[in-house]
Amino acid sequence: MDRNRFGTTDRICPEAPVPVINASGSIEDNVGMGGNVYLNLIALGNEVDFFHNEEVIIKERIIDSKYHQLLLRIDTEPDVIATLNLDNLPPFSDYDAIVISDYDKGFLPLRILAEITSKAHINNIPVFVDTKKPYIAGVNDAFVKLNESEWKTMLVHGELNRSNEYIVTLGDKGAMWHGDVYPARKVSLFDQTGAGDTFLSAFTTAYLSTREMETSIEFANLCSSVSVTKLGCYAVTLEDIYDCIEE
């Protein structure tokens, strides 16, 4: 759950040099993390079965009402039980793709992640992975989305698996694949929250339709450009894309 709590601040705390926040404004809750990927996939026209942990993780952002400036983030993270395994998943043959949005909170052990990619490859089903795990040894034959920092860490540790396709998001510069940079549309940045989730969802959607990497990356860049103009997690729709293209 991504929670935006709006408030005001007009003075500094006398006990320490930090702002005093009057968090008496409105509260907006949006589904975040893997749930944001799910909603973005739905908004782009996909039918999705969503498997996730039952424990509720909350990312609460305190935001200044006047300037929409992020002042503080508070994370509430209960212990997450690793309940996912191949035995409690439906037959892979029922699906066109498997999308894994793994924030590494404990629900999806690396062993199970590797088993999923292996079984999907046997069944000729593409797997799209975005994970915060510091290493992904055993993950094969997958489309792996990384941000620039994650990509540099993987290069340092020499973990590149030639069977994977690595797509690296570069913020407002766009995305990189096989050393080529695909530029993003220039927009006024408002909030980067959930932009990576949108990229993963849009790339998956486009690739399943076209099987073309370049086209899929360009579409994902476009959708992410829409996402960063919205506050908080946002599920980009096809109407948003049409409006963006017409501008």
pLDDT at 209: 95
For residue range 93-117, what is the model confidence (pLDDT) as tens digits? 999 999 999 999 999 999 999 999 9
The number of distinct structural domains making up the chain is 1
Residue 166: inside a domain: yes
Residue 164: inside a domain: yes
Residue 206: inside a domain: yes
**Token duo for residue 184:** 């993003």
Residue 115: inside a domain: yes
The DSSP bridge pattern shows strands 27-30 and 2-7 to be antiparallel
Q: Which residues are CB-contacts of 167 (< 8 A; sequence separation ≥ 6)?
A: 143, 144, 145, 146, 175, 176, 177, 203, 217
Read off the pTM.
Answer: 0.87
Residue 1: inside a domain: no
Instruction: Kindly tell me the burial class for residue 32, based on how many C-beta atoms sit within 10 Å of its own C-beta (0-12, 13-18, 19 or more).
Output: buried
Residue 190, pLDDT > 70, answer no
* Buried residues in 206-215 as b, exposed as e (16+ CB within 10 A): bbeeeeebee
Q: Which residue has the tokens 């404004």?
A: 25
Domain hosting residue 122, numbered range: 31-53+78-246
pLDDT at 24: 80
Residue 116: inside a domain: yes
Residue 70: inside a domain: no
Question: What mean pLDDT do residues 68-76 have?
Answer: 89
Confidence of residue 78 (pLDDT cuts 50, 70, 90): very high
Amino acid at 83: T
**Token duo for residue 222:** 């476009």
Please check whether residue 31 is in contact with residue 42, taking contact to mean a CB–CB distance below 8 angstroms.
no
Q: What phi, psi does 33 have (nearest 5°)?
A: 50, -125
CATH of the domain at 217: 3.40.1190.20
Residue 19: inside a domain: no
Give the separation between CA 51 and CA 53, rounded to whole angstroms.
Answer: 7
For residue range 115-174, what is the model confidence (pLDDT) as tens digits? 999 999 999 999 999 999 888 888 999 999 999 988 888 887 767 788 899 999 998 899
Give the separation between CA 20 and CA 236, rounded to whole angstroms.
Answer: 35
